[in-house]
């Protein structure tokens, strides 16, 4: 789904940017352009960002345990 209409940025592109290290709305804007123009999508960008960060932190202990078990 398109989140940023000014730059044609989808939620998938925003999620990829967050997974690649864009951990603030400003960094997301620099990485993919979402939220860089009019700002109308900044709330949606923030929601996606927080959701991705929450997913990353909740799955990090599981990933660490899986790596330890594999050794």
Q: State the SS3 of 3-32.
A: EECCCCEEHHHHHHHHHCCCCCHHHHHHHH
- Identify whether 66 is part of a domain: no
Give the residue from 34, 26, 46, 32 showing the smallest Cα distance to 5: 34
> Residue 42's domain is classified under what CATH number?
1.10.10.1100
DSSP three-state, residue 50? helix
The pLDDT value recorded for residue 33 is 98
What is the Cα–Cα distance from 71 to 56, expressed in whole angstroms?
A: 22
- Per the structure, the count of domains in the chain is 1
Domain extent, residue 25, equals: 2-58
Identify whether 7 is part of a domain: yes
Residue of 19, 18, 30, 46 whose CA lies nearest to 7:
30
Taking the chain (71 residues) in consecutive chunks of 10 residues, what is each chunk's mean pLDDT? 98 98 97 97 98 89 51 51
Does 64 reside within a domain? no
48 domain-assigned: yes
Residue 62: its pLDDT value, please? 56
In a domain, 70, yes or no: no
25 is a domain residue? yes
The pLDDT of residue 66 is 46
């Amino acid at each position: 789904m398109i989140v940023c209409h000014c730059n044609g940025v989808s939620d998938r592109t925003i999620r990829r940017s967050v997974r690649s290290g864009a951990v603030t709305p400003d960094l997301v804007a620099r990485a993919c352009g979402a939220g860089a123009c009019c700002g109308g999508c900044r709330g949606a960008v923030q929601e996606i960002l927080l959701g991705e960060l929450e997913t990353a932190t909740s799955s990090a202990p599981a990933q660490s345990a899986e790596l330890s078990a594999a050794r």
